[in-house]
Amino acid sequence: MSSTRKSIASLHKVHSIEAPHRIKQQDGILWIMKALQRSGTDAARALNLYERLLGNDNIAYRNSVLSDYTHHNWDEMQLFKPSVRDDKSTTPWWAPPLQDRMKFFVESANSMAREAFASETKAPAYLIDISCTGYRAPYPLQGLLLDRGWQDQTRLLKIGHMGCYASVPSLHMGAQLARTLPADQTVSLLSTELCSLHLDPFALDLDQVVSNVLFADGCARMDMGSEPKADSLDLYAHYEAIVPDSAQYMSWDLRDGRFHMTLSRKVVT
């Protein structure tokens, strides 16, 4: 007698929403180099690494919600410009305050969330909001539920500040929720990461240089259900592990004015 193993849940749909500004990788690196040269600091070591990375074609382009990285007109930047904090103190162009970064996050996350569900007519049973690059309450998906009249039909959950790794436990959470639902109901996950808002153009640390040339902006909607559909992916198991003695190789912290990533080249290679 043979037995067929039943999946935990099925991933029905993955829909990506691109950030509006596409920048060739070499152009993005050149932008950072020009910004670093404006500082007048001794940045020879960092510039040398950026120069070497110009020849790496593993990344063709990156997308950003900011138009700043598409030009070198420093007086016309959206984010990277002198600014005034709430306490009336000023910040230099290369260190915009966190409030300005979060303003762009909220505007862009709102737009992406609405695009992700623009053609959807049925409310999901659960909606999981995933992000580590911006915070505001009420957050964008709460506004989406109100706009669509779904606030009484959808249970909203939040997973934050876990980096790109957050999608792993989020899929597990989504699967466990989906398996309890009737076949005609879904769990939706929306992952929104806008890393370019936290770029540090004056970074001299080599690990930070690596971060500056890797990360970008984007959004993805994933739908899960208890039963498979045509072209769906079935989830049969979930596993994740914390590797001993690895905490120093990657971190995501809050610093004065921005979020700060530490990413060792050992992780990348």
pLDDT at 138: 87
Residue 268: per-residue pLDDT? 65
6 CA to centre of own chain: 32
When the pLDDT of each residue in the chain is averaged and rounded to a whole number, the result is 91
pLDDT in tens, 111-138: 999 999 999 999 999 999 999 999 888 8
CA distance between the termini of the chain:
47
Phi and psi at residue 77, to the nearest 5°:
-75, 145
Q: Which residue is associated with the tokens 């099925």?
A: 10
8-state DSSP, 229? -
Give bridge partners of residue 263 from the DSSP assignment: 250
Q: Which pLDDT score, from 0 to 100, does residue 2 have?
A: 45
Q: What is the pLDDT of residue 57?
A: 87
CA distance 10 to 33: 45
Residue 155, in any domain of the structure: yes
Q: Which of 148, 116, 140 is nearest to 222 (CA)?
A: 116
Coil, helix or strand for 172?
A: helix
Query: Coil, strand, or helix at residue 69?
Result: helix
Task: Tell me if 2 is assigned to some domain.
Answer: no
Q: Any idea what the CATH number is for the domain that residue 99 is in? A: 3.40.47.10
Q: Is residue 238 part of a domain?
A: no
pLDDT tens track for 228-269 = 988 899 999 988 888 898 888 888 888 888 888 888 777 766
- Tallying the residues shown for the chain, one arrives at 269
* Residue 127, domain extent: 9-72+79-229+247-268
Q: Which amino acid is at 34?
A: K
The C-alpha atoms of residue 173 and residue 186 are separated, in whole angstroms, by: 13
With residue 64 as reference, give the H or E element that holds it: strand 61-64
In sequence order, what are the beta bridge partners of 193? 218
Reading phi first (left if > 0) and then psi (alpha if -120 to 50, else beta), residue 176 is in alpha
Contacts of 175 (CB under 8 A, 6+ apart): 8, 9, 224, 235, 238
Inside any domain, residue 234: no
Q: How large is the average pLDDT for residues 67-77?
A: 95
The verdict on residue 3 lying in a domain is: no
Nearest partner of 194 among 96, 75, 62, judged by Cα: 62
**Residue 96 maps to a domain:** yes
Domains: count for the chain: 1
Residue 235 is assigned to a structural domain of this protein: no
Q: Is 37 helix (H, G, I), strand (E, B) or coil?
A: helix
Distances 126 to 37, 97, 224 between C-alpha atoms, Å: 48, 34, 10
Judge whether 102 lies within some domain.
Answer: yes
Nearest to 229 by CA among 178, 189, 192, 191: 178
